[in-house]
Amino acid sequence: MSAVPILANNDRDAGVVEEICGYLTEEPPRSYFLFAGAGSGKTRTLVEVLRRLTGVLKHEKGEQLARRLRTYGRSIRVVTYTKNAVAVINGRLGDNDLVGVSTIHSFCWELISGFNDDIREALIAVKEAQLEKETAKAQAKPRGITAAKQRDLDEIKADIEGFRTTDVFMYHPDRNTYGPGALAHKNVLDAAAWLLCNKPTLQTILRDRHPIVLIDESQDTIKGMLDALMGLAEPRGSGLTLGLLGDHRQRIYTDGHSDLPNLVPQSWATPELQMNHRSQGRIVTLINRIWKAELDGRTQPTTGVEQHPRIEKTGGVVRLYVGDTSLSPEDKVRRERWCADQMREASGAAAWGTGQYQLLALEHKLVATRGSFLDVYQAMVLLDPNAAAPAGSGDNKGPAAVQVMLNELAHLEACVGADGALNEFLATEVFRRHGSLDNIPEDPATRAARVDEMLKAMAAFVAACTDEKSTAEDVLFPVLSANLFEFDHRLSAAYADKSPPPAAPGRGEEESKQARMRRGWCALFDAPWNQLKRYRTYLAGNSVLATHQVVKGSEFMHVMVVMDDAVAGGNQISYDKIFGGTQLSKGDRENVDKGKETTIDRTLRLLYVTCSRAQESLALVLWSSDQEAALTRIKESGWFTDDEFQAIQ
Ligand SMILES: Nc1ncnc2c1ncn2[C@@H]1O[C@H](COP(=O)(O)OP(=O)(O)OP(=O)(O)O)[C@@H](O)[C@H]1O
């Protein structure tokens, strides 16, 4: 008797897999948009559908579809947001020649690569449209086309000329591509979208290769491509069927459509997942509340399925702590530890006392302060602002010129045991792997001299990296002097240059790239070596610290969300406005009047994403510019019970 209601409740979404299989195997097949909230098991649903449609699991109509796909050499294409998601789906699906899983970048490049004339035509058309639009916009302004704007417009013209004279285009979806004909990621997406809209041959190729395309995280999928695909899928029976999976409540990038649910054609099916399998009941109630909140300054609709927790997940602890944002960063870090202690008492989870909770901060700099690697992080930002921090797609690997410090030297350092002794066997392996032993001289005497030089350099390296006080320069010195690895010429040149760093530019002053990089190199060489390890862990996404954006798709037992608008800078996100410590600005009011997206809308979605990462307990720490006002508003909001929020003393 007891098992029945559990199954009934937890299995309220059990029919969705079969429902979707039905749409995709109908004649003609029907496109669908799956509303699937946080923790609802989108991936599992997707994989289960694919198993049935490709004949892995017994399914009459699925087997027929699989036969048809195989006969014509076709496959179902799944498009994911990150490479990590590709690996997860492939891992769960196993070997399956009827399904291809890739990121949108790989998918687009696969479609257009080799069609150089078409790519050229598309890129020129896209850029000319951009030039026309930007010129008209600038001309309409009271000051007309300023010198700075003219520079931007000239850059677009130069891009167009560059495309005109390129014969062969090159691209690697997994990394930045350099050299003649190299395309940026955005070029590839733009070109593919344009070609899909304008070239019937490419439309036929797509339909012929992949009659079914399923897109994960569709709320953040780049608009141009999504529009092109949605256009091709109409009318039903056109030869392309789309499945869009997503959660518009979790849209955090500006690439996606702002209101996807309303763009989906009426004729599409709209199945729903109502369960949240991830979080305890208290957390699910909170995220439902957050989404439904009728806040002043909100323009986005509250469309969405109310989620249900699993019926055995009746617990969960949620707390909101409100502190004064004018405190120093050190004081804030200390008080956040106090909040963690409060969480340990409230939840009884030892993890809060041992630092085993995931801390989510709004901004990388904030994370770097809390993670004690601020010097290294700031140096990396100066060296390459676009590569210094982890990205949601998992693509950033740090500035290219310092890769040897992030890889080779890290691997060598890992050969040093806790007792400070170097494991020579492992170190030799590291050298072999990175090609450092390839050029060891043949002649015995020179060979012995080289080996001796390497051993001495290694001993000096070990001494430097086990000394807490060493800077990056101290550790680099022996390895660079003995050429233990192949160093990027920019790193070697910067190291050899002993000139002092240029002064940082004043407010509003421009800085050349060269001066900025020189400051970056000097800051990096001066930074404590032990910060590099923490920076690497963060970059790789393996840290207990992360930004709010990067954790999309992840889950953690215990989560602390640190909300500190003042430190984060920018006006895109403001938690203090949501919680009442800051009033809406004039710009917010204007946006509301025009029905445009507001800070409140963006912040609410980000808050929804961060809160929904927690499985067991969730601490929200708000650094507010008006503690009292925020606490009053929080009490009125009804999001939390009286014992769930308090001031940070
Ligand atoms: N049917 C199910 N029964 C039990 N557990 C499930 C089920 N589906 C998913 N889960 C579990 O619930 C958690 C959330 O699933 P998953 O990460 O796939 O959700 P999601 O829809 O991708 O969420 P999000 O959009 O928040 O990232 C995972 O731990 C997963 O193992």
CA of 52 to the centre of ligand 1 (A): 19
Distances (CA, A) of 548 to 254, 255, 399, 577, 581: 15, 17, 22, 17, 20
Is the CATH number of domain 281-371+544-647 3.40.50? yes
Sorting pLDDT into bands at 50, 70 and 90, what band is 458?
Answer: very high
Residue 287 has pLDDT above 90, yes or no: yes
Task: Please tell me whether 39 is known to bind a ligand.
Answer: yes
Tokens coding 351: 């993890």
**Are 559 and 618 contacting, i.e. CB atoms less than 8 angstroms apart?**
yes
Residue 5 has pLDDT above 60, yes or no: no
Residue 445 has pLDDT above 60, yes or no: yes
pTM of the model: 0.78
Sorting pLDDT into bands at 50, 70 and 90, what band is 3?
Answer: very low
> How buried is residue 7: exposed, middle or buried, by Cβ count under 10 Å (0-12/13-18/19+)?
exposed
Atom of ligand 1 nearest to the CA of 250: 25
220 CB within 6 A, ligand 1:
no
Q: What is the pLDDT of residue 365?
A: 78
Sorting pLDDT into bands at 50, 70 and 90, what band is 380?
Answer: very high
| Most confident segment among 178-187, 367-376, 560-569, 602-611 | 602-611
Q: What is the pLDDT of residue 547?
A: 66
Residue 288 has pLDDT above 90, yes or no: yes
Residue 596 has pLDDT above 90, yes or no: no
**Closest protein CA for atom 31 of ligand 1:** 41
Q: What is the pLDDT of residue 2?
A: 42
Q: What is the pLDDT of residue 392?
A: 57
CA of 553 to the centre of ligand 1 (A): 9
Residue 82 has pLDDT above 50, yes or no: yes
Q: What is the pLDDT of residue 6?
A: 45
470 CB within 6 A, ligand 1:
no
Residue 568 has pLDDT above 70, yes or no: no
**Closest protein CA for atom 7 of ligand 1:** 41
Atom of ligand 1 nearest to the CA of 554: 27
Task: Please tell me whether 102 is known to bind a ligand.
Answer: no
Mean pLDDT calculated for residue range 281-298: 93
CA distance 80 to 20: 18
The tens digit of pLDDT for each residue in 113-162 reads 999 999 999 999 999 999 999 999 989 988 888 887 888 899 899 989 99
CA of 43 to the centre of ligand 1 (A): 7
Atom of ligand 1 nearest to the CA of 11: 1
**600: alpha, beta or left? (left if phi > 0; alpha if psi -120 to 50):** alpha
Low-confidence winner among 139-143, 256-260, 471-475, 540-544 (lowest mean pLDDT): 540-544
Task: Please tell me whether 499 is known to bind a ligand.
Answer: no
Task: Please tell me whether 147 is known to bind a ligand.
Answer: no
Q: What is the pLDDT of residue 176?
A: 61
Sorting pLDDT into bands at 50, 70 and 90, what band is 632?
Answer: very high
CA of 275 to the centre of ligand 1 (A): 9
Sorting pLDDT into bands at 50, 70 and 90, what band is 86?
Answer: confident
Mean pLDDT calculated for residue range 562-583: 81
44 CB within 6 A, ligand 1:
yes
Task: Please tell me whether 62 is known to bind a ligand.
Answer: no
**Are 52 and 59 contacting, i.e. CB atoms less than 8 angstroms apart?**
yes
Mean pLDDT calculated for residue range 355-380: 85
Q: Which of 272, 555, 559 to mutate to test the pocket of ligand 1 (most atoms within 8 A of CB)?
A: 555
Task: Please tell me whether 350 is known to bind a ligand.
Answer: no
CA distance 277 to 297: 31
**Closest protein CA for atom 14 of ligand 1:** 39
278 CB within 6 A, ligand 1:
yes
Please report the DSSP string for 33-57 in residue order: EEEE-TTS-HHHHHHHHHHHHTTSS
Write the CB contacts of 486 (distance below 8 Å, at least 6 apart in sequence).
Answer: 404, 434, 435, 436
CA of 195 to the centre of ligand 1 (A): 36
Q: What is the pLDDT of residue 145?
A: 85
**Higher-pLDDT residue of 512, 529:** 529
Sorting pLDDT into bands at 50, 70 and 90, what band is 649?
Answer: confident
Task: Please tell me whether 38 is known to bind a ligand.
Answer: yes
Q: What is the pLDDT of residue 570?
A: 61
219 CB within 6 A, ligand 1:
no
Q: What is the pLDDT of residue 393?
A: 55
Q: What is the pLDDT of residue 511?
A: 78
Residue 12 has pLDDT above 70, yes or no: yes
42 CB within 6 A, ligand 1:
yes
Q: ipTM value of the model?
A: 0.96
CA distance 294 to 289: 10
Tokens coding 422: 């170097």
Mean pLDDT calculated for residue range 12-31: 95
Q: What is the pLDDT of residue 618?
A: 98
Q: What are phi and psi of 624, to 5 degrees?
A: -110, 150
Mean pLDDT calculated for residue range 253-271: 84
Sorting pLDDT into bands at 50, 70 and 90, what band is 569?
Answer: low
**Closest protein CA for atom 3 of ligand 1:** 277
CA of 554 to the centre of ligand 1 (A): 10
55 CB within 6 A, ligand 1:
no
Task: Please tell me whether 162 is known to bind a ligand.
Answer: no
**Closest protein CA for atom 22 of ligand 1:** 42
CA of 282 to the centre of ligand 1 (A): 17
Sorting pLDDT into bands at 50, 70 and 90, what band is 301?
Answer: confident
**Higher-pLDDT residue of 396, 165:** 165
The CATH number for 3-101+199-276, chosen from 3.20.20.140, 3.40.50.300, 3.20.20.105, 3.40.630.30, is 3.40.50.300
41 CB within 6 A, ligand 1:
yes
CA of 89 to the centre of ligand 1 (A): 13
Q: What is the pLDDT of residue 567?
A: 64
CA of 129 to the centre of ligand 1 (A): 42
CA of 277 to the centre of ligand 1 (A): 6
Sorting pLDDT into bands at 50, 70 and 90, what band is 175?
Answer: low
CA distance 100 to 85: 13
Pairing relationship of beta strands 614-624 and 645-647 according to DSSP bridges:
unpaired
Mean pLDDT calculated for residue range 37-56: 92
Mean pLDDT calculated for residue range 463-479: 94
The tens digit of pLDDT for each residue in 196-224 reads 999 999 999 999 999 999 999 888 778 89
**Mean pLDDT, rounded, of the chain:** 89
Q: What is the pLDDT of residue 279?
A: 97
246 CB within 6 A, ligand 1:
no
Sorting pLDDT into bands at 50, 70 and 90, what band is 587?
Answer: confident
Q: What is the pLDDT of residue 551?
A: 62
Q: What is the pLDDT of residue 7?
A: 47
**Closest protein CA for atom 11 of ligand 1:** 277
378 CB within 6 A, ligand 1:
no
Sorting pLDDT into bands at 50, 70 and 90, what band is 70?
Answer: very high
Residue 281 has pLDDT above 60, yes or no: yes
CA of 559 to the centre of ligand 1 (A): 17
Low-confidence winner among 86-95, 248-257, 258-267, 444-453 (lowest mean pLDDT): 248-257
Please report the DSSP string for 455-497 in residue order: HHHHHHHHHHHTSTT-BHHHHHHHHHHTT-SPPPHHHHHHHH-
The tens digit of pLDDT for each residue in 492-502 reads 999 999 999 99
**Closest protein CA for atom 6 of ligand 1:** 277
Residue 581 has pLDDT above 60, yes or no: yes
CA of 350 to the centre of ligand 1 (A): 25
229 CB within 6 A, ligand 1:
no
